[in-house]
Amino acid sequence: MMRRARWRLRLLLGLATVALPVAAQTQEPIAGGELPPPGYGSLKQDNVSLRITLNDIEIRFLPLDERLIRLMAPDAYQSLHGLVVSRQPAIDSAARAAGLTSPGLALVTFFALRSAARFDPENVSLSYRSQFERPAAIVPYSGTFTSRQLDVRQQATGIYLFDEPLPVFEPFDVLYGTSQASWNDDVLRRIGVERVRVQSRAQASKGDSAAVKP
């Protein structure tokens, strides 16, 4: 019971700070992998998102890790990077309340597949290296997030904070109740290939720039 009470408090803290002004600061570089240069990726959001589809709702889980989103096409990267920047004060406030110094972030979206579809934002969790982890805090992004009920074609989105950066270079599972989706070898292979391509494009661009200098 105490666990659920703490969850309620952290969710309300995120909601209370969601209207704060846009911050100039950005997400700090995350340990565990060098940051690739932005602007050279080609991945789409669907290439690095996990989906869980139930009878009445669909859940999409997208890590907001700079090591990952910098591998996306420039427009997708700018959109997701800007989303984090715009909510940075709320993220920082929720992280402090939860006692986090370098939280992992994920964008979780609930899509309604029928009218009056109910969802539980606190029912999302991770399974990694045989360990079970719930988010430490949630920052609501859309106004419908705290309603816990959606009409058909409506959606609700929140930024989830985890104790540590997400293991985007290793397998893990996202769970909603007893249903799950896996960040598996196919996703990891796609990420690995794109990292090589991004570095190659960046190097080629530097070479082209050097060649045109007088």
Determine, yes or no, domain membership for 64: yes
Determine, yes or no, domain membership for 158: yes
With 0.85 as the threshold, say if the pTM is over it: no
- Taking 50 as the threshold, does the pLDDT of residue 18 lie above it? no
Determine, yes or no, domain membership for 107: yes
Determine, yes or no, domain membership for 137: yes
How far, CA to CA in Å, does 122 sit from each of 42, 139, 200? 32, 12, 41
Task: Print the domain residue range for 63.
Answer: 2-17+35-199
| Tens digits of residue pLDDT in 82-108 | 999 999 999 999 999 999 999 999 999
Determine, yes or no, domain membership for 40: yes
Q: Considering the chain, what is the average pLDDT of its residues? A: 86
Determine, yes or no, domain membership for 22: no
Domains held by the chain: number: 1
Tally DSSP H helices, then E strands, for the chain: 5, 11
The predicted structure's pLDDT at residue 213: 53
Who has greater pLDDT, 15 or 109?
109
